[in-house]
Structure 1
Amino acid sequence: MKTKTLHWTDSLTDSVYALWETATEYRTAYLHAYLARHNAEFDRRRIHDGVIGICRRLNDRGDTRHHRRAPHFHALSLISDAYRRAERELQQRYEDAALLYASGAAWAIASVQRSETPPVVEFTEADGQLAHHGLEISGLDRYAGAHALRVAYQDLAVKLGAAGYAEDLAAREYLADHEAGELHAALDDAAGIADAAYAYGQLAHKALHFVLLEPIRDRERQLALARALRAASDN
């Protein structure tokens, strides 16, 4: 069966939409892991006091050691650790996906503004990791959502800058007292990068629809002209 070829405006829209779907999946998974870990915390659970006896074999001679264990407490410890590991991993994956979504939408907008016709969002891969594009978007003075887009970008840029500064401080072998305070402040300022990138990506996604309006109109005019020419030739 012959596959229908999408116009570049449609396939580019699908490409950015797929980035949104990806970020949304990781966001949902991270929130589930966060809630699961939160619900498994000891201060939110009533731990049963009952214990069991365990005989541990120490060697081939048959030496043993006996001890007691509270199985409910032990299980909650393991569950909490598992949820915490999952939460950390999914938070990082959510952050990466949100930055790819936001920067992918920004890249698509800039490409269209340069009169390019990219069928999909392109990324560079190195060591198995996709590098996100620049995030800033300009040239949208006539767009009604331009102010909200700038505010969201500034919020994200501040968080990313703080994260970079914190990483630089953390890599130093020695920190003076004031630098240690700056490190903690930078970590506080950097909190929420994933959510900020996701929110900015959603606004950039909407802005992409705006910049695609003219290319879509051009396509519709071309299709209308082609239909008119076919009709004229049939007559």
Structure 2
Amino acid sequence: MTYNLAPKNAPWFEHLTDSVRGLGEAAREWQLADRAAALAEAHVELERSTLHEGKVRHQPGPDTPPFYRSTRTRTPHADAFFTLHRIYMEHRFRTRREYGHAALLFASGGAWAIRQVQAGEQPDRVAFELDGYEQPAPMPHRYKVEGVDNYVHARKIAEAYDRLLSMEMAAEHAEEIAGRDDRDVTERDASDMFDAADAARGLEDAAYAYGLLAEQALMYVLLGPKDAHRKQLAEQRVAQAQAGTEDPCHPCGCPKRFERHADGCPTLAAEGETT
């Protein structure tokens, strides 16, 4: 299934709207994947599980590598449980990271589109710069949205921006402490890191929510360009109608698109008599 996008010959603001919506759909897909990954991980939480203690014996065979040539007792349920826990945890880390990045692109992309329109630009899609890593990824823009004081949801946007900025700063602080050498981290630093991580919890959802508000605000700032476009189309239709009603020929039958009458035209003879 694909969405009905604006046709290629549609005005620029229709394509810009599709571009921001595409960012929102991408963030939504990662959000759903992250929810599913978290649910899968929850199914293998040790606190909620009762492991069966039935055991099996693993004996070396003729082709078993030397390191494993000893009889070992295993607990199949525990082995499966902890293997799944590792797989689900790694999967959730991946989906959470991707969701966060997609949500920030959505939030900042909507804000970027608003600023471009306010500056009189006419972009047909959101543009991002790539970072300098081995596998470059798009870098989010800044999230600030201004100049929408008369918009009905201006206060919601401001509050959502403050919440997003605060959570992002907390996440950066926690990450900065976690990146220090263990010898440089005091007990107070460790406490600050956990507090900052708690304050940043839900950053991805906050970015996605802000993206939805920015997308709605984009519709507001596009009212002016859309109205100007409608007036331009109306003027073109009036001009075309006037051109269609005007007789393309002189009374003598000579086309008006030429600067002179045709040779032998009665009009030329009449003009010669008057002169």
**173-182 vs 32-41, which deviates more?**
173-182
For residues 135 and 109 of structure 1, what CA distance do their matches in structure 2 show? 10
Q: Say which of 70, 78, 86 aligns to 1:81.
A: 86
Q: Could you tell me how far 1:73 is from its partner in structure 2?
A: 1.8
Any residues of structure 2 matched to 1:199-210 within 5 Å, and which?
199-210=209-220
In structure 1, runs of 5+ residues without a counterpart are none
In 2, distance between residues paired with 1:210 and 1:80? 47
1:140 to 148, 166, 175: 148
Q: Which amino acid aligns with 2:44?
A: A
Q: Which moved more, 1:95-104 or 1:34-43?
A: 34-43
Q: 1:4-153 residue pairs with structure 2 within 5 A?
A: 4-57=8-61, 59=65, 64-126=69-131, 127=133, 128-153=136-161
Q: 1:40: Cα distance to partner?
A: 2.3
2:196 counterpart SS class:
helix
1:217 matched to 2:227: yes
Paired residue for 2:163? 155
Rg larger in structure: 2
Q: Secondary structure, in 3 states, of the residue corresponding to 2:70?
A: strand
> Match of 1:176?
186
Unaligned runs of 5+ in 2: 1-6, 246-275
- Where 1:124 maps in the other structure, the secondary structure is coil
- Could you tell me how far apart the structure 2 residues matched to 1:204 and 1:4 are? 25
Match of 1:72, SS state, is helix
* TM-score normalised to structure 1 length: 0.92
Give CA-to-partner distance per residue, 1:81-120, whole Å, 9 cap, x none.
1111000010000000000000000000000010111110
CA pair 42-177 structure 1, distance change in 2 beyond 3 A = closer
- State the 4+ residue runs in structure 1 displaced beyond 4 angstroms: 57-60
Q: Structure 1 CA distance, aligned partners of 2:8 and 2:112? A: 26
Aligned equivalent of 1:228, options 235, 238, 244: 238
Shift of 1:178: 2.5
Letter of the aligned partner of 1:206 in structure 2? Answer: Q
Amino acid at match of 1:153: Y
Distance 1:35 1:175 in 2: 33
Paired amino acid for 1:117: Q
Structure 1 residues 45 and 182 mapped into 2: Cα distance closer, same or farther (>3 Å)? closer
Q: Which amino acid in structure 2 is aligned with residue 141 of structure 1?
A: D
- Give the drift of 1:191: 1.5
Higher helix share: 1
Question: What letter matches 1:225 in structure 2?
Answer: E
Report the secondary structure of 2:99's partner residue.
Answer: helix
- Structure 2 CA distance for aligned equivalents of residues 196 and 9 of structure 1: 26
SS in structure 2 opposite 1:129?
A: coil
Deviation of 1:167 (Å): 2.4
By relative contact order (CA 8 Å, sep 6+), the higher-ranking structure is 1
Shift of residue 165, structure 1, vs aligned partner:
1.8
**Over aligned residues, Cα RMSD in angstroms?**
1.8
Q: Which amino acid aligns with 1:130?
A: P
Give the drift of 1:72: 1.8
The 1:178/1:77 distance shift into structure 2, 3 A limit, reads closer
- Cα 1:231–1:63 shift into 2, 3 Å: closer
Amino acid at match of 2:188: H
